Amino acid sequence: MSAVVVRVRAAVRGLRRELVVLGAVVVVLVALVLVGLGVGEIPLSPGQVVAALFGHGDTVSDFVIGQLRGPRTLAALLVGASLGVAGGIVQSVVRNPIASPDVIGITSGASASGLTAIVLFGASGASLFTVVLVGAVLVSLVIGGLAWRRGITGNRVVLVGIGVAAMSLSVTGWMLTSGTVQQAGTALLWLSGSLNAVDRGVVGLLGVGFVVLMVAALVQSPRLTVLTLGDEVAASLGLRPNRAKVLLLLTAVLLTAAAVATAGPVSFVALMAAPIARRLVGGGRVALGVSAAVGAVIVLASDLIAQFAIPGNALPVGVVTGVVGAPYLLWLLARGR
């Protein structure tokens, strides 16, 4: 009985710490949202921002937030949260710190399908969103089929995913050279991961999709925690490991595809968010809620840097996340086995 009591107390302490960390990250997130909505050519005070958010703003603040900065800020928040959760799921299922959607080919496959739709059919908005979702699922099925050997194992998924990502990049290059100059310019901006001209309708689709998929991820999170103990332990506890992995990875694929369809491939967010969340929470907890909040913080902060680091020249947010994320990936590779 004493061992059970000790485990219960440890679980309660872990949950308490996770909630405290989540609260702290949310505070940072709220501060970044207020900054993002307030700074620009028409500066707004925090009071004006809050008043506009609650429907009591003046004409100028209502227009600036409702039509200009609000959709961009909401897109940054949702894209970051989606990628943070997707990265946490993939890394936990595969049990490999570099097995993010960026590395194992999901993001590249989604990008290739979206770029093909843009160049060949001029897709945009909801049609582009649908094509990217379908393309990401098909690519993930290819990766899963090639990596399957009586189940899903981490090293095979990473190696197969790298190969599929290389093939997807070949398709991307082919599409860029096949399109017109105008199509190539639009495609390059989208491929760099940009929030400069987000579609409000697509942001709404991402919002609905994120809520549904986040609920699905939280419902499956107990299985995710069991899977981190290993397939044999999970099976001994009554879990069907392969079935649970497939459902969890499908959730991660759809989250990644929805984020890519909205802003293009914003690189390395999925790779960074979950490890940061795990370090903050401690105890080896998966902490999908904290991963979502950390991912949102990364994208919001990166977007602010992208907008104002070089006066008069707004960079794609993917450029900033790439500058930060690439050294992090090299560090992981250098310190790992």
**DSSP 3-state assignment of 264?**
coil
Residue type for 7, please? R
Tokens of 233: 């332990």
Instruction: Using the predicted structure, report yes or no on whether residue 179 has a pLDDT greater than 80.
Output: no
Question: 293 CB contacts (<8 Å, ≥6 apart)?
Answer: 22, 25, 26, 29, 81, 84, 277
Predicted local distance difference test score (pLDDT) of residue 11? 61
- Location of structure tokens 């409702």: 66
Question: Residues 274-286: pLDDT tens digits?
Answer: 989 988 998 667 7
Q: Read off the amino acid at residue 97.
A: P
Burial class (CB in 10 A: 0-12, 13-18, 19+), 135: buried
DSSP states of 116-132: HHHHHH---HHHHHHHH
pLDDT-wise least confident of 134-138, 212-216, 309-313: 309-313
Query: Is residue 146 scored above 90 in pLDDT?
Result: no
Mean pLDDT to the nearest integer, 226-232: 80
Instruction: Return the pLDDT at 7.
Output: 58
pLDDT at residue 283, rounded to an integer: 67
Mean pLDDT of the region 106-117? 91
pLDDT-wise least confident of 83-92, 121-130, 179-188, 244-253: 179-188
- The pLDDT value recorded for residue 336 is 63
Comparing 37-51, 88-102, 171-185, which segment has the lowest mean pLDDT?
171-185
The mean pLDDT value of the chain amounts to 87
Over 80: is that where the pLDDT of 3 sits? no
Closest CA to 112 of 185, 170, 183: 170
Give the alpha-carbon dihedral of 301, 85, 82, 165, to 10 degrees. Answer: 100
Q: Quick one: pLDDT band at residue 137, thresholds 50, 70, 90?
A: very high
Of 14-28, 39-53, 222-236, the poorest mean pLDDT is in 222-236
At 10, is the pLDDT very low, low, confident or very high (cuts 50, 70, 90)?
A: low
202-221 mean pLDDT: 94
Tokens of 145: 């089929």
* pLDDT on residue 8: 58
Give the tens place of pLDDT for each residue, 63-83. 999 888 999 999 999 999 999
Contact 231, 103 (CB under 8 A): no
Euclidean distance between CA atoms 142 and 319, whole angstroms: 29
Residue 200 has pLDDT above 80, yes or no: yes
Instruction: Judge contact between 47 and 170, C-beta under 8 A.
Output: no
User: Given a cut of 60, is residue 293 above it in pLDDT?
Assistant: yes
pLDDT computed for residue 133 by the predictor: 92
Give the confidence band of 154 by pLDDT, cuts at 50, 70, 90: low
Q: Which residue in 67, 87, 137 sits closest to 109, CA to CA? A: 137
- Residue 216 is predicted with a pLDDT of 95
Separation between Cα atoms, residue 253 and residue 86, nearest integer Å: 7
Residues 6 or more apart from 143 whose CB is under 8 A from it?
104, 105, 106, 157, 160, 161, 164
With H, G, I as helix, E, B as strand and everything else as coil, classify residue 265: coil
Provide the pLDDT for residue 1.
46
Q: Average pLDDT, stretch 147-174?
A: 84
> What pLDDT does residue 272 have?
92
High-pLDDT (> 90) share of the chain, %: 43
Q: Residue 143: helix, strand or coil by DSSP?
A: helix
Give the number of other Cβ atoms within 10 Å of residue 148's Cβ: 15
- Three-class SS state of 55: coil
- Cβ atoms of 138 and 168 within 8 Å: the answer is no
- What CA–CA distance (Å, rounded) separates 239 from 106? 26
Contacts of 233 (CB under 8 A, 6+ apart): 226
Instruction: Return the closest-CA partner of residue 128 out of 62, 67, 26, 201.
Output: 201
- What pTM does this model have? 0.92
Q: Of 304, 289, 274, whose CA–CA distance to 17 is shortest? A: 289
Output the pLDDT for position 2. 59
Res. 224: pLDDT tops 60: yes
